[in-house]
Amino acid sequence: MKLLQLLIIIVLGTSSIWLSAMFGILDWKATSLGLITIVISSLAPTCAERILSLMGSNKKFEVFVNYVIPTVSCVLCFIVIAQINTGNRLCALIISGVAYVCYPFVWWYQNRDNKVLEESTNALGGGLGQFND
């Protein structure tokens, strides 16, 4: 089920890019900025959720990693913006493309033991059992 959720996120998340490509108005600046924006908007809430779920545990390194991931994503965003401003098309597209390709794997790793997603019955991930405490 997690794979299906990832595919839905990827297809819907990139809809502005592939719809622009279908109509022939694809711009490299919008594409690179769109890809890195998807990465940040997807990983930051997941990291925050993971940090909250690990509070009080002995997994200090994993908490640290979940603080580093959004920071690295933001730094990559600033690098992409700088490359766009200098007109470096290839570098901006490569950085945002690599970040976009890597983010589903990071998301998958963060949610490898997320109990809410095990019994997911809808696109938001979660069943009625999560409310029965």
Tell me if 68 is assigned to some domain: yes
Would 10 be classed as within a structural domain? yes
Identify the three-state secondary structure at position 133: coil
The number of folded domains in the chain is 1
User: Residue 55 has what pLDDT?
Assistant: 82
* Residue at 62 is within a domain: yes
The whole-angstrom separation of Cα 10 and Cα 8 is: 5
Render pLDDT for 39-78 as a digit per residue (tens, 0 to 9): 888 888 888 888 888 888 888 888 898 899 989 988 999 9
CA 100 to centroid of chain Cα atoms:
7
Q: Do the beta carbons of residue 37 and residue 81 sit within 8 Å?
A: no
Q: Is residue 126 part of a domain?
A: no
Structural domain includes residue 32: yes
In a domain, 124, yes or no: no
Tokens at residue 124, please? 């938001």
Domain interval for residue 40: 2-113
125, part of any domain: no
**How far is CA 107 from its chain centroid?**
7
Assigned domain for 91 exists: yes
**pLDDT at residue 75, rounded to an integer:** 93
| Helices 2-13 and 28-54, axial angle in degrees (round to 10) | 140
Q: Helix 60-86 to helix 28-54 angle, to the nearest 10 degrees?
A: 170
pLDDT tens sequence across 96-124: 989 988 888 888 888 777 666 666 555 55
